[in-house]
Chain A
Amino acid sequence: KQEVTQIPAALSVPEGENLVLNCSFTDSAIYNLQWFRQDPGKGLTSLLLIQSSQREQTSGRLNASLDKSSGRSTLYIAASQPGDSATYLCAVGNMAGTALIFGKGTTLSVSS
């Protein structure tokens, strides 16, 4: 059974820092991996989707990497801003057309 773990559970940094969020999964035979942002009491905003054949995806200040063989993904946020404060969720798709399996998330707080 696929399990997704995110470390750390919470992270506080001053504005301007570069930071890395970690995600690990137990079964490396995944179809894709997705990073989401969730603001308190709100739904999900998709940030980056990495197919199993890809190693990384970039969008603005965000870069997500995928190492299937080791069961790991990282989300790199450059030059963090207070507006980046949110919970970041990592989710794995085991097969095409199936539901995602989510980690518990990392709650990020960026202070000005």
Chain B
Amino acid sequence: GAVVSQHPSRVICKSGTSVKIECRSLDFQATTMFWYRQFPKQSLMLMATSNEGSKATYEQGVEKDKFLINHASLTLSTLTVTSAHPEDSSFYICSAMTLAGGPMETQYFGPGTRLLVL
């Protein structure tokens, strides 16, 4: 089946620093990747939709200047949390939609990245 990886799996950083999270589709091409965030005991909430070669679309309440998304290729999207603060500590999960080889509507999820900002 289709595999999506995320790197790093866990990161601890100091307040004010920037953190980059990578999301890769390993064995398929994905024109669309989604970034979700999950706070403890809460559901996954969509942050932004990332389309290859174009600007990301952000959900209401998500600061695009703080959460920079780059989808430079059909297999890689990155999320950069700029000037991270403790309230940004969360579990970040990406998903990718296949171009072929499965139902178009199937999203494949990465394993997630745990961010802790001190």
Contact = CB atoms under 8 A, between A and B. Distances in A.
Interface stretch (A38-46, A55-63, A69-77): A38-46
Interface of A: 4, 31-32, 36, 41-44, 46, 49, 51, 89, 91, 93, 96-105
Q: Which 10 A-B pairs have the closest CB atoms?
A: A43-B111, A102-B43, A43-B112, A44-B109, A104-B43, A102-B44, A99-B46, A99-B34, A96-B105, A43-B109
Nearest to B114: A41
Interface residues of B, number: 26
Contacts, number: 54
A75 B93 CA distance: 23
A17 to B, nearest CB: 24
B3 to A, nearest CB: 11
B43 A105 contact: yes
B89 interface: no
A43 B110 contact: yes
Interface secondary structure of A, over-half rule: strand
Given A93-B105, A102-B44, A104-B41, A42 B112 contact: yes
Contacts of A100: 34, 44, 46, 95, 107
Interface in B64-98: 91, 93, 95, 97
Contacts of A96: 104-105
B93 A43 contact: yes
Contacts of B25: none
A4 B6 CA distance: 27
B46 to A, nearest CB: 4
